[in-house]
Amino acid sequence: MFKVPRIIPAMHCIAANPQSAIRNRPMHFRRVCLESFGYTLPDETVTTAELERRLAPLYERLRLPEGRLELMTGIRERRFFPPGTRPSTVSIESARKAIDASGIDPRYFGALVHGSVCRDFLEPATACRVHHGLDLPPDAMIYDVSNACLGLLNGVVQVASMIELGHIRAGVVVGTECGRSLVDNTIAQLNSDQTLTRDSVKNSIASLTIGSASAAIVLCDAELSQTDNRLTTAMVRCDTSQHDLCQSRGLETFMQTDSEELMRQGVAAGAETFERFLAAAGWEPDDIDRTFCHQVGVAHRKLMFESLGLNPEIDFATVETLGNTGSAALPVTMAIGIEQGQLHAGDRVAMLGIGSGINCLMLAVEWQRSLPRVEEQTPQRRRQTAKVD
């Protein structure tokens, strides 16, 4: 007689400690390497003083002192791509630099994630044009990820998980933020809105910190790696009760940000995440040799390091000269730090991402070797695999 199989409810499979089974566990990786970086910065530099000159009508009406914007943010300048720049065009350039620097045959790449806020269109995915421009394999998984300033880091975790599971050998995460339109439109609206006060104008300050940049990261399995830079741990945490502190309908429209409250709540969420991150990585704060963080402003950086109990001297920052470049901020900063010799064999590196929403994502990396820049590599130093599995 046919017997109907017994279906065991999922909760019956929970271990002795049900609370530990319910709580999300940290992500650990054993075979994933953070292999190489590529980045592209705009040629045009725009100083904060120049933005204030453009804001003269607002400053005169509200009697705001010159230098106020740089004093509040610590940002001296930022860069912008030319008007009309398509994110995919720059992303192709950055991803090609990262892939070339890795020396890994493009046929090994099984995933491409485009993670910036800026995209060419709502559809198709911007990753499609980037994939085509890079001539990566047709069986690669490609898509866009959008999560405010954490999009690229989310992509890193997703590609790392594919590698850890053995689904792919290598993948690239890339994104390009084009902030010119947001800054231009913010200035125009601030100058034309006669109802603004010294207090209400504060909700637009964050928009004026935005800059443009592009970054790409190649990840691969340990067998392909020349660096053995191991991505070991990832920890996530969110506080979505604060989702309305920063809202924008797009980088071409106005953005409203309660900067002071977002800073307080973001740092609080970051501190909770950091405590769990340390436990998951098996680190103490003093074990961390170098940090790379999302770049918002000088005051935010100071408060965050005080809250985390970290020495700010271990942090490498670019916010003063690049501004807030969204999802590209942390990877661009890390790429520049690598170029400048900020990482050494044996360094324990913490990548600390905090974005609006509020979302936190922190990554632990055991660093061993930095690959030379693309233009420094010779054909003999590039590894080209003759046979692809």
| pTM for this entry | 0.88
> Could you tell me if 283 and 326 lie in one domain?
yes
> Could you tell me if 154 and 234 lie in one domain?
no
Among residues 33, 118, 128, 149, the one annotated as catalytic is 149
> Could you tell me if 243 and 178 lie in one domain?
no
> Could you tell me if 182 and 300 lie in one domain?
no
Q: Tell me if 235 is assigned to some domain.
A: yes
What CATH number is attached to the domain comprising 170?
3.40.47.10
Question: What one-character-per-residue DSSP string does 299-344 give?
Answer: HHHHHHHHHHT--GGGB---HHHH-B-GGGHHHHHHHHHHHTT---
CA atoms within 13 A on the CB side of 93: 12
Q: Which single residue is written with the structure tokens 């499609």? A: 128
DSSP-H helix ranges across the chain: 18-22, 48-54, 56-62, 68-73, 87-102, 126-134, 151-164, 180-192, 259-281, 298-308, 319-322, 329-339
> Could you tell me if 198 and 269 lie in one domain?
no
> Could you tell me if 337 and 244 lie in one domain?
yes
User: In the chain, helix, strand, coil percent, each to 5?
Assistant: 40, 20, 35
Q: Residue 291 and residue 367: Cα distance in Å, rounded?
A: 12
Q: Tell me if 262 is assigned to some domain.
A: yes
Residue 239 pLDDT: 79
Residue 23 pLDDT: 62
Q: Which single residue is written with the structure tokens 């790429």? A: 335
Among residues 123, 284, 313, 376, the one annotated as catalytic is 123
> Could you tell me if 211 and 337 lie in one domain?
no
Q: Residue 316 and residue 336: Cα distance in Å, rounded?
A: 9
Domain that residue 322 falls in: 229-366
> Could you tell me if 236 and 210 lie in one domain?
no
Domain boundary among 170, 196, 220: 220
Q: Tell me if 32 is assigned to some domain.
A: no
Q: Tell me if 4 is assigned to some domain.
A: no
Domain boundary among 202, 220, 238: 220
149 is catalytic: yes
Residue 10 pLDDT: 38
Q: Which stretches in the chain have pLDDT values below 50?
A: 1-16, 18, 20, 376-389
Residue 374 pLDDT: 55
> Could you tell me if 208 and 239 lie in one domain?
no
Residue 387 pLDDT: 37
> Could you tell me if 199 and 264 lie in one domain?
no
Rounded to whole angstroms, what are the CA distances from 48 to 199, 201, 211, 320, 328? Answer: 20, 17, 11, 10, 20
60 is catalytic: no
Residue 264 pLDDT: 73
pLDDT digits (tens, 9 = 90+) for 29-83: 999 999 999 999 999 999 999 999 999 999 999 999 999 899 989 999 999 999 9
